[in-house]
Amino acid sequence: MSRRLPEVGGAFVQMEDEIASMAAIIGASYAGVKSMTATSGPGFSLMQENIGLAAMTETPCVVVDVMRAGPSTGQPTKTGQQDVMQAKWGSHGDYEVIALAPSSVQEMFDFTIEAFNLAETYRCPTFVMTDEIIGHLMERLTIPAPDEIRIVNRKRPTKPPSEYLPFLGGADLVPEMATFGEGYRFYATGLTHDETGHVQADSPEAQSKLVKRICDKIRKNAGAITKVEQAFLEDADTCIIAYGSVARSAMSAVVEGRAKGAKLGLLRLITLWPFPEDIVARVADQVDRIIVPEMNYGQLVREVERSAGRRKVTSIPKLGDALHTPEDILAQALH
């Protein structure tokens, strides 16, 4: 089923399953349009093979994952943050993705636009990793005028079709991207390929060169990609690191703790991948202790431990259908 949306020049297409939807947005992107799909945890699992294809073919596209409790079918419509490691490591092989974590309805709107901009800039699958609470939340949303919204488009070819190399990275390691049907004929394959797109599956040199580039175009630009929000960290001796809906509880806990004389601060992770390890490391040097509340059994806390040192980090995992309350977090912070 397809429904045309003439007011925005786009279309909504209902697919038979998540495997097909991921394949469809890859094809749509190569046809020249900005494409996205949305799902929750089990559907996100089904998308992983084609997410790997998007990474290998350097296809700009967006996936919204409204995380819920798992594994398997788990708790449908209940909340969780159990897909954050799957977002990074879900498909096989070495590749990099970008993932954003909104904490409000407004950020769902804003970060989806930002996800498209990042996908177009770096030619990679980009995720909006929200959770069920934000997905069902009703609160004010302000939609800017179209001319106030920053829109980024992919780099287009600067050479004629006869000279175009579809997988030649520029100074930023990101190739220009032609659109199928506009005279540029080339091969987009999930097999190891050279800069022309031709298969080089038996070449260790081609494999190394290609995979390093598709990883390095994100790793070497991580400083420009990663974003965080900091609050009350100037004199904090304890930092709470949180993301998504849990960050709202964490902020309340910091404010309540400050009112009681505790020197608490908040580092809210907006970008989950690439992980802002340099920022976390700097904060860890400032404080005595880091607390990480997550609606899972301890996932992103492992990245925090890697960046900050395990001895400084306390995990507050939570499973079930409710997020951490400010009191849950504050009790641990004052313990």
CATH 3.40.50.970 domain position(s) in the chain: 1-225
pLDDT (0 to 100) of residue 7: 44
Tell me the per-residue pLDDT of 243-279, one tens digit each, with 9 for 90 and over.
999 999 999 999 999 999 999 999 999 999 999 999 9
Q: Which residue has the tokens 């904060």?
A: 283
Per CATH, is 228-333 categorized as 1.10.1530.10?
Answer: no
Structure tokens at 166: 């579809």
Q: Where are the alpha helices (DSSP H) in the chain?
A: 18-30, 41-46, 48-56, 84-89, 105-122, 132-136, 204-219, 222-225, 246-259, 277-286, 301-308, 326-333
CA dihedral 55, 61, 66, 67 (to 10 degrees): 10
Tell me the per-residue pLDDT of 35-56, one tens digit each, with 9 for 90 and over.
999 999 999 999 999 999 999 9
Per CATH, is 1-225 categorized as 3.40.50.970?
Answer: yes
Q: How far apart are CA 210 and CA 71, in angstroms?
A: 33
DSSP state for residue 268 in the 8-state scheme: E
Query: b/e for 31-63, b at 16 or more Cβ within 10 A?
Result: eeebbbbbbbbbbbbebbebbbbbbbbbbbbbb
Positions in the chain short of pLDDT 50: 1-8
pLDDT (0 to 100) of residue 100: 98
pLDDT (0 to 100) of residue 49: 97
Handedness of CA 99, 105, 110, 116 (dihedral sign): positive
Q: How far apart are CA 112 and CA 110, in angstroms?
A: 6
Strand partners, 268: 229, 242
pLDDT (0 to 100) of residue 145: 95
pLDDT (0 to 100) of residue 321: 75
Strand partners, 229: 268
CATH 3.40.50.920 domain position(s) in the chain: 228-333
Residue type, 73: T
